[in-house]
Amino acid sequence: MKAVLFGASKGMGRALARLMAARGDRLFLIGRVSEDLERSARDLEIRGAPAPVMTAFCDLLNPESFAPALDRAERELDGFNAVVVTAGMFATQEEMETDPQLAARVLAADFTGTVLFCEEARRRLLATGGGTLCVFSSVAGERGRKPVILYGAAKAGLSKYLEGLDHKFRARGLRTVCVKPGFVKTGMTAGLKPPPMAGQPEAVARRVLRAIDRGRPEVYAPAAWRGVMCIIRNLPRFVMRKIEF
Amino acid sequence: MTLQPHRSKLSGWGRFPVVDGLVLKSEDLPAATEGATLSRGLGRSYGDSSLPAGTDLPVADATLADRLLGFDPASGMLRAEAGASLFELNRVFLRRGWFVPVSPGTQFVTLGGMVASDVHGKNHHVDGCFGEHVRGLKLRVADGRIIECSDTAEQELFRATIGGMGLTGHILEVEFPMRPIPSPWIWSESQRVENLDLMAAGLKEAAREWPMTVGWIDCLARGAKLGRGILMKGRWAQPDEAPKKPPPLKGRLRVPFQFPGIALCKPNMKAFNLAYYWKHIQPCRRGIVHPDAFFYPLDALDDWNLIYGRRGFTQYQCVLPHADGNGPARRFLERFVSAGGMGFLCVIKDCGAEGKGMLSFPQPGISIAMDFPIHPTKTPALVDRLNELVIAEGGRIYLTKDTFTRPEHFRAMEPRLEAFNAVRRKWDPEVRIRSAQSVRLLGDSA
């Protein structure tokens, strides 16, 4: 597999990149901070990714960076057949309610930015006969929930966009994988109280990699969240108004 | 966004004491350590070494900073972020024929922790501590600067940091050579030994031929059986005697809940020690073993510290100089039994030369380590009695395991403390970097 990884220097992206490196996939890293990307590139080379692992600048809040980053990846990898997006922004509901500018950035990064990036990526994948576009959305997008109203709204939009891509382009060879992580213990969630089914990044990454290899359009990770969200989706409104989940 | 600290209950592996700490956790360790007064890794030191001096003094959690930054397959030189765990290193390097030069008895430790504790292992009699092999460290010192130190640059700081319990600065990166191994399997020989004299003689003799040795002793046996146990010896297997396949990743069991206090009553402890001893029914066993089973037997059981129940447990580890044959070890075990001590696991090991770390634990002699559950009044009294003996014998204790030692006892067994304090004062005149342990033992302010 020749993969472009957006957001692989941290959290679940880091864990997934390491699994891909260990099996010898060719990787290209894109992200905001070049020194951070370089350190991750060395880590992945030592873990088995064919050297050199190259990097390029790309920022979800700067759509003009998307095309040059993917062009560069295409040149360095001599074409790619997978794009994985784990980049994203997170802030708590309270933080965003009190800071509209922060809310604007999170919404722009997690919806507009991610969707526009995917547009660039899927055009290139389709042009070379298809491939895998794996994007990390969230279970937060499954239902309007009190603790994640704004973040969840952006992720809900993203999930629906990815579903649409799958419907339209699967026949032409584009395999869209929408990942819906539940609570996973990463740097992003370090300050939050973990619920009983909190997952570890590595276990999530193993599940996601299997989904990528099989071309599953949707994957919940950890798996237990599929059941949890099935219940949450079907709870009546008067219950959702009462509970704090 | 600046990194926000969060509240979290913190404790060492012994689960006592527990503090409500303020934690800074991020993949970006330089950012996390910027406002922190201490760094911690996987929390495998037993007592209060990795705990902040106060509930509002932030501590940096290094475990997400776990990238490998450079590896030279020709020389084996590895540079990595301080939060990289030995478990990860083993997973990446063992099947490729590389191993750390020194490994402690668990793989759930970070490189930063291995340096701060200057860990030793079964090969101490030939290879010394981990710190002997460290070529360079990147540290954030108390004034915020990030400094590279080694035996040629800021040597004093380097040597104070090795075994310095994280009190000289935040360890950000560690560089050391991995060691090539002939195969990833271990050839091991173990024998049942009937008493302490035979154990000490066995360790001494084995040290001449074997690169790795350790003894387990039944610390409840008395009289003629005092110090009986199992002597284990090992070396890396040669390719022709090892299985062709690399050692499989071992599944681990988890202790599902905290055991009730009664689980550790004296009859149970006796039964455990007896069973462990007689499980080794043949006088001598030899063969190929999985490296995890050899180096990390307890790692097979996740959260095994829960067995010690609500009050937690501590480990007492000291090293006693050899000058007087087996006398010191015998007196130590007799004192342990007569002071009412009872323990599950007691590990005995002959140590080689003292290392370069200014507060590094091992010195030539015999090291004894034992676990016991904490009793609010009896345990501090027991530790006092053991410490008095250690002082009289000219030995010292291992800070990584310590929870109850008094400052005056520690000073009495550490003539090197003044030199260490001088380096610390030089780099941190206001004593910003400190731990619950340094408050207890070195008189830092809480």
Helices and strands counted in chain A (H then E) = 10, 7
* Residue B239, preceding peptide bond in cis (omega within 30° of 0): no
Nearest to A37 by CA among A61, A53, A20: A53
Q: If you average pLDDT over residues B369-382, what whole number do you get?
A: 93
pLDDT at A39: 98
pLDDT of B8-59, one tens digit each? 999 999 999 999 999 999 999 999 999 999 999 999 999 999 999 999 999 9
| Residue B118 φ then ψ, to 5° | 40, 65
What's this model's pTM, rounded to 2 decimal places? 0.96
CB within 8 Å: B67 and A43? yes
Write the DSSP symbol of residue B145.
-
Contacts of A186 in chain B (CB under 8 A): 64
pLDDT at A193: 86
Quote the distance between the C-alpha of residue B208 and its chain's center: 24
CB within 8 Å: A187 and B27? yes
Q: Is the pLDDT of residue B413 over 70?
A: yes
Please tell me the distance from the alpha carbon of residue B427 to that of residue B168, in angstroms, as a whole number: 7
Please report, in tens digits, the pLDDT of each residue of chain A (245 residues total): 999 999 999 999 999 999 999 999 999 999 999 999 999 999 999 999 999 999 999 999 999 999 999 999 999 999 999 999 999 999 999 999 999 999 999 999 999 999 999 999 999 999 999 999 999 999 999 999 999 999 999 999 999 999 999 999 999 999 999 999 999 999 989 888 888 889 999 999 999 999 999 999 999 999 999 999 999 999 999 999 999 88
For chain B, say whether A46 makes contact (Cβ under 8 Å). Answer: yes
Which band of pLDDT confidence, cut at 50, 70 and 90, is reported for residue B88?
very high
Contacts of B25 in chain A (CB under 8 A): 187, 190
For tokens 């000058």, the residue is: B323
Reduced to 3 states (helix: H, G, I; strand: E, B; else coil), residue B318 is: strand
Nearest to B233 by CA among B262, B217, B253, B212: B212
Please tell me the distance from the alpha carbon of residue B130 to that of residue B152, in angstroms, as a whole number: 18
Write the DSSP symbol of residue B264.
G
Helices and strands counted in chain B (H then E) = 13, 21
CA distances from B1 to A86, B4, B31, B188 (A): 18, 9, 11, 53
CB within 8 Å: A191 and B6? yes
Please tell me the distance from the alpha carbon of residue B114 to that of residue B409, in angstroms, as a whole number: 25
Percent pLDDT > 90 in chain A is 94
* CA nearest to A22 within chain B: B92
Q: Is the pLDDT of residue B131 over 60?
A: yes
CB within 8 Å: B25 and A9? no
- Kind and range of the H or E element at B423? helix B417-427
Q: Is the pLDDT of residue B344 over 80?
A: no
Amino acid at A156: A
Residue B204 and residue B196 in contact, taking contact as beta carbons nearer than 8 Å: no
pLDDT of B258-290, one tens digit each? 888 778 788 888 888 888 888 888 889 999 999
For B175, residues 6+ apart whose C-beta sits below 8 A from its C-beta are B77, B78, B79, B80, B134, B135, B136, B137
CB within 8 Å: B27 and A14? yes
For chain A, say whether B64 makes contact (Cβ under 8 Å). Answer: yes
B218: closest CA of chain A, how far (Å): 38
CB within 8 Å: B27 and A9? yes
For tokens 């009859």, the residue is: B267
Q: To probe the interface with B, which of A32, A43, A94, A193 has the most B CB atoms within 10 Å?
A: A43
Q: If you average pLDDT over residues B425-445, what whole number do you get?
A: 97
What are the strands, taking DSSP E only, across A97-204?
A: 131-136, 174-181
* CA nearest to B63 within chain A: A187
What would the DSSP string read from start to end of B20-72?
EEEEEE-S-HHHHHHT-SEEE-S--SSSSTTSBSSTTS-EEE-TT---EEEE-
Q: Where are the alpha helices (DSSP H) in B66-129?
A: 86-93, 111-116, 124-127
Average confidence score pLDDT of chain B: 94
B301: closest CA of chain A, how far (Å): 18
- Kind and range of the H or E element at B302? strand B301-302
CB within 8 Å: B67 and A190? no
Contacts of A46 in chain B (CB under 8 A): 68, 70-71, 92
Contacts of B61 in chain A (CB under 8 A): 190
CA distances from A39 to A42, A46, B7, B164 (A): 5, 11, 29, 27
Please tell me the distance from the alpha carbon of residue B311 to that of residue B377, in angstroms, as a whole number: 12
Please tell me the distance from the alpha carbon of residue B313 to that of residue B106, in angstroms, as a whole number: 17
Task: List Cβ<8 Å contacts ≥24 apart for B83-92.
Answer: B83/B29, B83/B41, B83/B110, B83/B111, B83/B112, B84/B110, B84/B111, B85/B41, B85/B42, B85/B109, B85/B110, B85/B111, B86/B110, B86/B111, B86/B114, B89/B178, B90/B291, B91/B249, B92/A46, B92/A47, B92/B68
Q: Is the pLDDT of residue B325 over 90?
A: no
pLDDT at B1: 54
**Per residue in B251-268, is it b (16+ CB within 10 Å) or e — as a string?**
eeeeeeebeeeeebeeee
CB within 8 Å: B92 and A14? no
For tokens 């207890």, the residue is: B440
Q: Which two tokens stand for residue B67?
A: 């990238």
Task: Give all strands of the β-sheet with B186-193 in edge-to-edge order.
Answer: B284-289, B186-193, B229-236, B212-217, B346-351, B365-373, B313-320, B396-397
Task: Give all strands of the β-sheet with A131-136 in edge-to-edge order.
Answer: A54-57, A26-31, A2-6, A82-85, A131-136, A174-181, A218-221
CA angle B411, B416, B418 (to 5 degrees): 75
Please tell me the distance from the alpha carbon of residue B285 to that of residue B280, in angstroms, as a whole number: 8
- Kind and range of the H or E element at A114? helix A114-127
pLDDT of A147-163, one tens digit each? 999 999 999 999 999 99
Amino acid at B193: V
CB within 8 Å: A43 and B68? yes
CB within 8 Å: A42 and B25? no
Contacts of B69 in chain A (CB under 8 A): 39, 42-43
What would the DSSP string read from start to end of B357-373?
STT----SEEEEEEEEE
Reduced to 3 states (helix: H, G, I; strand: E, B; else coil), residue B149 is: strand
